[in-house]
Amino acid sequence: MEVAQQILFLLLAGIAIFLFVKKAAAIRRNIALGRDEDTQPHPDRWRNVLLMAFGQKRMFDKPLVAVLHFILYASFIIINIEVLEIFLDGVLGTHRLFAQPLGGFYTFVINFFEILAALVIASCVIFLVRRNVLNVRRLNMPELAGWPRSDANYILFFEIVLMSLFLLMNASDRALQLQGHGHYAELSTNFWISGGIASLLQNLPAATLVAIERIAWWLHIAGIFVFLNYIPYSKHLHIVLAFPNTYYARLAPQAEMTNMPEIQREVLYAMEPDKVPAEAAEAPKKFGARDITDLSWKNLLDAYTCTECGRCTQACPASQTGKKLSPRKIMMDTRDRMEEVGAKTTNGVVAEDGKSLLHDYITTEELWACTSCQACVQACPVLINPLSIINQLKRYLALEESNQPAEWNGMYSNVENNFAPWKFAPDDRDAWAVELNEKG
């Protein structure tokens, strides 16, 4: 029977790992659809990882939410030690492999895990209440209708079930120890939380307790395999990608815009014609971005890393004043378009489908509502930069489609003819000062 369980476990683990690797490769392929971006190594990159990904520094502007989120995050990382033991037990056909080598320290570790499990259950319940009873505004905005809203709830329910199975598995194990049944009697572990549950179970027949322990064990590890393969399809992919995303985040000052050298060169030539070279430089093939292949791979990594927490949209002045712009939606649309394009990509060749990120997913109304104030960039806990995508799409609208608010056309004409946004000839630009001196 144990050999049969080992074979079944190895089969289940093999399928789960294969499917996860396959999806991870597809995500990597999709991110690689973006153009290159220079990201040189720098010590500040590791600082960002430690403060933003590990330390979750920006989460703590909302202390209660930050503490609850940190519990979930810490549990996800720490309880993987327990998952390692379960995995090895499944492969080797053992039971609590680490118990005897670790001795009394093993009981301490499992008790620590149980406290984390109880805190996770409590945190998930609170988050479910916030989303579905209190209806916190940023968690119930239009772009979250349907799957995104359900996705968040599914994850919270899933974590409650996994932690409950973990406690039930330990409780039935402890009850069998108290009965001195089989190999369970070889261990003596005084679990703090599941020990209380065990006292309610210890009068059940041993066969029933073994069935409960085995079912809880199998459901727990099978649930972890399912969760592993759910993550790449969910916004919770950020629990993996937050680390590389914070590492590769831009290090330039936040308010510094990224300019195109070709545009800067043309402006220089217009203002100083004597610097125009004899042979004209090659014109850029495209200004700005129309689709995801025009964005950089870092922009696409940002989209996959988005947690859909809505802090960017909550901080956005345009969104606060009722305009259509939502930085969170920009990231979600970019990710959705990337998935669509990636599914139609063969050997690096993107199949044309007649659609684009601009217009088909993101409208001009959304883009022109953006004031480039950087509030969304400042608010993101994992250093995502929605403004970078917005600005590239706006650049395409203005320079490729000449599609901008009508009042901008006069400004463009003035810059071209007068080298300033105002309708004054350069020679007359200081006339106001002369008039002021005369009055003085």
Q: What mean pLDDT is reported for the chain?
A: 91
Mean pLDDT, to the nearest integer, of 60-75?
Answer: 90
Integer distance in angstroms from the first to the last C-alpha of the chain? Answer: 103
Mean pLDDT, to the nearest integer, of 37-41?
Answer: 89
Provide the pLDDT confidence category of residue 396 given band limits of 50, 70 and 90.
very high
In this prediction, what percent of the chain has a pLDDT beyond 90? 70
Q: What pLDDT is stored for residue 286 in this prediction?
A: 83
Provide the pLDDT confidence category of residue 34 given band limits of 50, 70 and 90.
very high
When mean pLDDT is compared across 87-91, 123-127, 277-281, the lowest value belongs to 277-281
Task: Identify which has the larger pLDDT, 62 or 262.
Answer: 62
Closest to 223 (Cα-Cα) out of 81, 22, 86, 78 = 86
Model confidence pLDDT, tens digit, residues 83-102? 999 999 999 999 999 998 98
Is residue 356's pLDDT more than 80? yes
Model confidence pLDDT, tens digit, residues 283-328? 667 889 999 999 999 999 999 999 999 999 999 999 999 999 999 9
Is residue 250 packed enough to be buried (19+ CB in 10 Å), middle (13-18) or exposed (0-12)? middle
Model confidence pLDDT, tens digit, residues 409-439? 888 888 878 878 888 787 777 777 777 776 6
3-class secondary structure, 57: helix
Model confidence pLDDT, tens digit, residues 161-180? 999 999 999 999 999 998 99
Distances in whole angstroms, Cα of residue 77 to Cα of each of 43, 206, 227: 24, 34, 14
3-class secondary structure, 214: helix
Instruction: Name every residue whose Cβ is closer than 8 Å to that of residue 321 and which is 6 or more positions away in sequence.
Output: none
Q: What pLDDT is stored for residue 208 in this prediction?
A: 96
